[in-house]
Amino acid sequence: MPSLLTISNPIILYDGICGLCNRLNQFVLKRNKTDRFRFAALQSEFAGNVLQRHGVNPEALDTMYLLLNYSQPDERLAARSDAAVQILTELGGIWRAIASIVQLLPRWFRDKAYNLIARNRYQLFGKFQTCQIPDERYRSKFLDL
């Protein structure tokens, strides 16, 4: 595991071939002022091990996860809209305010909207043949390279 990873780094697990997921990673990287977030593609060995540990099928690529407290007794995995809300909260500023508003919506409603986008993400945002290699300045934040 890269030395830049600490237990305090939230780790975004994303579909590495999804155009939307890669755009969302770029969004987070540009706003990650405190350098907290790390990333790993769902297709990676790292993500597969984490998902199995949490009883999640590592073959299912339709969900974004946020891993919190990596390798600690209180390690937890936020999924779907809960992951998105937590990511916005961690970004702080206006994004935290937006997360607070979104969080007022019932989870079933948020997840229904999330699932609709997830089902159509390749058609709407494209699909890559392989996981994208991040820009050199961000490469150390990706745990699966």
Question: Per residue in 70-128, pLDDT tens?
Answer: 988 999 999 999 999 999 999 999 999 999 999 999 999 999 999 998 888 888 778 77
pLDDT of residue 137: 79
pTM equals 0.87
Chain mean pLDDT for the chain:
87
Angstrom distances, CA of residue 72 to CA of 12, 37, 54, 125: 17, 17, 13, 35
Query: Is the confidence at residue 3, as pLDDT, over 60?
Result: no
Residue 31's Cα: distance from chain center in Å?
14
Residue 73's CB is within 10 A of a number of other CB atoms, namely 5
Query: Is the confidence at residue 4, as pLDDT, over 60?
Result: no
Residue 45's CB is within 10 A of a number of other CB atoms, namely 12
Question: Per residue in 49-61, pLDDT tens?
Answer: 999 999 999 988 8
